[in-house]
């Protein structure tokens, strides 16, 4: 079928951020906006003629129409076939798995992750490479370059595909395969974990609550936790994905998953609580009466991973993003394995995973994952926790407290200053950057600065260099404060202040993190002058 060539013009601002391009939905729905970006992805990766792509998204508003547009562009550009989740749905980790399972030339994932969805909210699109992972910077740079020079896109004149019917169909000359979004992913999970042990745990009366936040993990969690593993019906709540996530904010943290937090802190709390985000790659873990920070969860999972059959032979190494606490580093030290510190963004783990240097990795931003796919994976983390709980026969609280007694506790918190005027946020960041040489030796709030630096990363596998990845102020005694500008927001700028202090005194391991970090918080504000620059005297989100 002859493609239709449509003349277009470059559109400003189509630069991928931490994880793909995220904009207001109305922006993505604007004339030629999506078409330009998809054509630029195709051009940036050297064309898609004869190639196969996985396509799916988290079901947010515009997901289905966007898939129809993408399918026509893929056909217009000569793609051989696309594999699409039924009704256009695929969680991000399930999409990563399908890319790997089918050996495709990559995939397009439609999601703005934990950002709200709807006509007035957010939309996003990213390209994942044939290893299943988010495109690295050398690829996103080419895609962005293509967005600045585009003058036409190729599509076909065709009616919409029926996204609801499983099986094969044709769009022009291109084959379209509609697949069950859950089945292959569920098989993968069954191959990694001791499902019999988890079934026995549930059969013994163990209770859990999984909050799918009206987002993509609902069908996955219901199929795996309730239908396969025997968790009581109703263990999974908010399980039906909706285009605006039930009007909520599908970000699994103590602010946006407050209903779950209240239940887990209440007198009738289940044994285990968890939540996942819009596209199913993030997770929040709770036990009865305890919230587990993502950094602590990563450390705990690394320490106990051998409980699961997939990791019974031990871990090759671990990796964490720079702002993530160093808790996992000490686990690695004890295990005698390598620990890597990468910039924020799952794409930086890809080479380490591909090279077999790390088995488990994670980030403070509620992401944990392993070699099984090349994305972080919310349900995977929940299942590894369940596997560990089943094998150790401990409670979440006992596991964490024993971990802290053993390794010390990295008290940790992230303070977000959202929706700040972009110029003010950059001025604050630039002032700290300029002050770096003067900071060592200064004392603020009783803490003396040991070193100050801007994080840069040299990828140990391919040698690529990534500069300007966040500012670190380290204090004597092991505490530190990190300042970054978020790369995933769609309005103004977000300053993220990450705070950490190591406590090894056995009598001080169960305190309140904000209290334990109060001096680091004061010192960070004295140095960074966030209020003077932005007018904000307090963060709007604390996790």
Cα(528)–Cα(452) distance, integer angstroms: 12
Cα(90)–Cα(85) distance, integer angstroms: 5
Q: Which residues, 6+ apart, have CB-to-CB distance to 361 below 8 Å?
A: 298, 318, 319, 320, 340, 342, 349, 352, 353, 368, 369, 370
- CB closer to ligand G16 out of 81 and 96: 96
Of the candidates 490, 485, 457, 451, which has an alpha carbon nearest to the alpha carbon of residue 470? 485
What is the number of other CB atoms lying within 10 angstroms of the CB of residue 418? 17
Contact predicate 95/56, CB 8 Å: yes
Q: Which residues, 6+ apart, have CB-to-CB distance to 480 below 8 Å?
A: 472, 473, 474, 499, 500, 520
CB of residue 65 vs ligand G16: minimum separation in angstroms? 22
Among this protein's residues, is 113 annotated catalytic? yes
- CB closer to ligand G16 out of 202 and 346: 346
User: One of 40, 81, 96, 113 is an active-site residue; which one?
Assistant: 113
Cα(93)–Cα(98) distance, integer angstroms: 9
Q: CA–CA distance from 197 to each of 110, 307, 431 (Å)? A: 35, 10, 54
CB of residue 267 vs ligand G16: minimum separation in angstroms? 33
Of the candidates 283, 297, 278, which has an alpha carbon nearest to the alpha carbon of residue 218? 278
Q: CA–CA distance from 460 to each of 194, 205, 336, 367 (Å)? A: 33, 47, 19, 22
Q: What residue ranges bind ligand G16 (CB under 6 A)?
A: 18-19, 113-114, 281-282, 321, 344-346, 363, 365, 367, 486-488, 496
Check residue 427 and give left, alpha or beta (phi > 0: left; psi -120 to 50: alpha).
Answer: alpha
Contact predicate 162/141, CB 8 Å: no
- CB closer to ligand G16 out of 92 and 155: 92
CA 11, 159, 3: angle at the middle one, nearest 5? 55
- CB closer to ligand G16 out of 63 and 321: 321
What is the separation, in whole angstroms, between the first and last Cα of the chain?
53
- CB closer to ligand G16 out of 72 and 282: 282
Cα(194)–Cα(201) distance, integer angstroms: 11
Q: Residue with structure tokens 């002058």?
A: 529
- CB closer to ligand G16 out of 81 and 469: 469
- CB closer to ligand G16 out of 380 and 407: 380
Q: Annotated catalytic sites, by residue?
A: 113
């Amino acid at each position: 079928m002859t493609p239709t060539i449509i003349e277009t013009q470059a559109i400003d601002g189509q630069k991928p951020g931490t994880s793909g391009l995220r904009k207001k939905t109305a922006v993505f729905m604007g004339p030629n906006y999506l078409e330009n970006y998809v054509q630029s992805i195709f051009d940036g990766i050297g064309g898609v003629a004869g190639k196969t792509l996985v396509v799916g998204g988290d079901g947010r508003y515009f997901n289905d129409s966007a898939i129809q547009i993408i399918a026509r562009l893929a056909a217009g550009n000569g793609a051989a076939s696309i594999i699409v989740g039924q009704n256009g749905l695929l969680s991000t980790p399930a999409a990563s798995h399908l890319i790997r399972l089918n050996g495709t030339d990559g995939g397009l994932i439609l999601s703005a992750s934990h950002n709200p969805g709807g006509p007035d909210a957010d939309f996003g699109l990213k390209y994942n490479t044939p290893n299943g992972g988010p495109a690295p910077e050398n690829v996103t740079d080419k895609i962005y370059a293509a967005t600045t020079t585009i003058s036409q896109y190729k599509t076909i004149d065709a009616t919409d595909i029926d996204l609801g019917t499983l099986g094969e169909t044709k769009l022009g000359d291109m084959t379209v395969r509609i697949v069950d979004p859950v089945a292959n992913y569920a098989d993968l999970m069954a191959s990694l974990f001791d499902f019999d042990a988890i079934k026995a745990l549930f059969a013994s009366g163990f209770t859990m609550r999984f909050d799918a936040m009206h987002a993509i993990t609902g069908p996955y969690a219901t199929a795996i936790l309730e239908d396969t593993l025997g968790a009581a019906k109703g263990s999974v709540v908010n399980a039906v994905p909706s285009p605006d996530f039930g009007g909520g904010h599908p970000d699994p943290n103590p602010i946006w998953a407050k209903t779950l937090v209240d239940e887990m802190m209440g007198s009738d709390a289940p044994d285990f609580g968890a939540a996942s985000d819009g596209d199913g790659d993030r997770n929040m873990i709770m036990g009865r009466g305890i919230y587990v920070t993502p950094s602590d969860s990563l450390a705990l999972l690394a320490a106990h991973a051998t409980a699961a059959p997939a990791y019974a032979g031990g871990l090759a190494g671990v990796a964490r993003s720079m702002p993530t606490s160093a808790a996992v580093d000490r686990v690695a030290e004890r295990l005698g394995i390598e620990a890597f510190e990468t910039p924020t963004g799952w794409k930086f783990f890809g080479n380490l995973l591909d090279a077999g240097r790390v088995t488990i990795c994670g980030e403070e931003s509620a992401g944990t994952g392993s070699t099984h796919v090349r994305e972080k994976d919310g349900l995977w983390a929940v299942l590894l926790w369940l596997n560990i709980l089943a094998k150790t026969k401990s409670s979440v609280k006992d596991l964490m407290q024993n971990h802290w007694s053993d390794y010390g506790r990295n008290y940790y918190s992230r303070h977000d200053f959202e929706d700040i005027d972009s110029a003010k946020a950059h001025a604050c960041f630039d002032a700290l950057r300029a002050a770096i040489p003067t900071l060592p030796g200064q004392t603020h709030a009783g803490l003396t600065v040991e070193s100050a630096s801007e994080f840069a990363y040299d990828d140990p596998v391919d040698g690529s260099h990534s500069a300007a990845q966040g500012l670190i102020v380290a204090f004597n005694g092991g505490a530190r404060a990190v300042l970054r500008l978020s790369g995933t927001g769609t309005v103004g700028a977000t300053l993220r202040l990450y705070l950490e202090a190591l406590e090894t005194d056995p009598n001080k391991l169960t305190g309140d993190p904000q209290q334990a970090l109060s001096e680091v918080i004061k010192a960070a504000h004295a140095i960074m002058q966030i209020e003077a620059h932005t007018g904000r005297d307090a963060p709007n989100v604390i996790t």
